[in-house]
């Protein structure tokens, strides 16, 4: 297959789940594009957002690191977080570089493109928008909580999330990438604060719904306190469909039991394994793709980079 015929895969998301997927996908014969959330507002990212009026760089930084083929020392420098010094303490070097490059080029996306070139990034990285935006959640009791980092802390059941200021303008390249995609992958991650902020942006929601490519959701393995407590797999899908309309064709779920010692660690954070309610997923018209896709570890559950990449690649070849 010539390079121009390689399938176009678009991964949409943020947080810790997205880089895991991208690290495995970057070496496959595909045209890879990452659409990354810019709604986070905690830590170094939040300070740079407020002080420099730029979109959030944190998730973008992690995606650049995941897709980079740079020397390990250069990547270590890029991901370095300062612990000393009043002004620099808590800041990540990569966030500062993204802020500086935005300043030099006058444009957040151009800054990302230039740093991607320097760090030899495979694939394309688009912020979902070039604008700074704030995330809000309306809870089922009517209370509205503002700020991505505050939403899980409220510890209430979320009814819906929305962005300000309205209307948020999507990056045109992001919309085009979705329109041309052969496969759209919704990455695992914080449902209401990493995944949905991308999908509810005007034009992005329509592009996902109307895409000719298949839309696959890689479901979270564990629930998240303050966001998805007690959520089954179908509850995750339902939340996405309530926000952006019926758009998911397939769901990828982990089908092996989770080690009890790992469950205990998560239980301390009020997190539990996501229950895969197969009947309800089938009623929703979803194709269920089950596999052992976890990287076994005694303390944290992460999707296995290579297993999930091979699984997603096999979906493209079948479609």
Span 124-140, pLDDT tens digits: 999 999 888 889 999 99
> Do residues 309 and 66 lie in contact, with contact meaning Cβ atoms separated by under 8 Å?
no
The pTM score is 0.93
Strands 294-295 and 302-303: antiparallel
The helix/strand/coil state of 137 is: strand
pLDDT digits (tens, 9 = 90+) for 210-232: 999 999 999 998 899 899 999 99
Cα–Cα distance, 182 to 316 (Å, whole number):
7
When pLDDT is cut at 50, 70 and 90, the band that residue 272 belongs to is: confident
Longest CA–CA span in the chain (Å) reads 56
Q: Which residues contact 249 (CB under 8 A, 6 or more apart)?
A: 214, 215, 216, 286, 287
Strands 134-139 and 158-164: antiparallel
> Do residues 266 and 259 lie in contact, with contact meaning Cβ atoms separated by under 8 Å?
no
What is the pLDDT at residue 297? 65
Cα–Cα distance, 79 to 74 (Å, whole number):
9
Question: Is pLDDT above 90 for 178?
Answer: yes
Once rounded to an integer, what is the mean pLDDT over residues 282-302?
A: 81
Going through 74-157 in order, the beta strands assigned E by DSSP cover 124-127, 134-139, 144-146
């Amino acid at each position: 297959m010539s390079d121009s015929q390689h399938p176009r895969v678009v991964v949409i998301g943020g947080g810790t789940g997205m880089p895991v997927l991208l690290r495995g996908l970057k070496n496959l014969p595909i045209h890879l594009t990452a659409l990354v959330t810019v709604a986070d507002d905690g830590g170094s990212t939040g300070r740079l957002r407020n002080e420099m009026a730029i979109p959030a760089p944190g998730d973008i930084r992690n995606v650049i690191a995941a897709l980079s083929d740079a020397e390990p020392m250069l990547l270590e420098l890029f991901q370095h977080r300062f612990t000393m010094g009043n002004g620099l303490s808590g800041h990540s070097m990569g966030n500062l570089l993204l802020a500086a490059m935005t300043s030099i080029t006058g444009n957040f996306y151009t800054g990302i493109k230039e740093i991607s070139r320097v760090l030899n990034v495979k694939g394309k990285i688009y912020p979902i928008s070039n604008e700074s935006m704030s995330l809000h959640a309306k809870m089922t009791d009517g209370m509205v909580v503002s700020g991505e980092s505050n939403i899980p802390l409220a510890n209430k059941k979320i009814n819906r999330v929305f962005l300000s200021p309205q209307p948020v303008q999507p990056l045109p390249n992001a919309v085009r990438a979705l329109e041309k995609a052969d496969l759209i992958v919704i990455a695992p991650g914080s449902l209401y604060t990493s995944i949905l902020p991308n999908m509810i942006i005007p034009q992005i929601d329509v592009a996902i719904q109307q895409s000719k490519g298949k839309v696959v959701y890689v479901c979270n393995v564990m629930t998240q306190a303050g966001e998805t407590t007690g959520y089954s797999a179908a509850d995750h899908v339902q939340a996405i469909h309530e926000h952006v309309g019926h758009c998911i064709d397939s769901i990828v779920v982990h089908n092996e039991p989770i080690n009890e010692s790992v469950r205990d660690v998560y239980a301390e954070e009020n997190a539990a394994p996501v229950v895969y309610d197969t009947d309800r997923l089938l009623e929703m018209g979803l194709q269920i793709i089950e596999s052992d896709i976890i990287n076994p570890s005694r303390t944290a559950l992460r999707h296995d980079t290579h297993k999930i990449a091979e699984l997603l690649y096999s979906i493209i070849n079948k479609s």
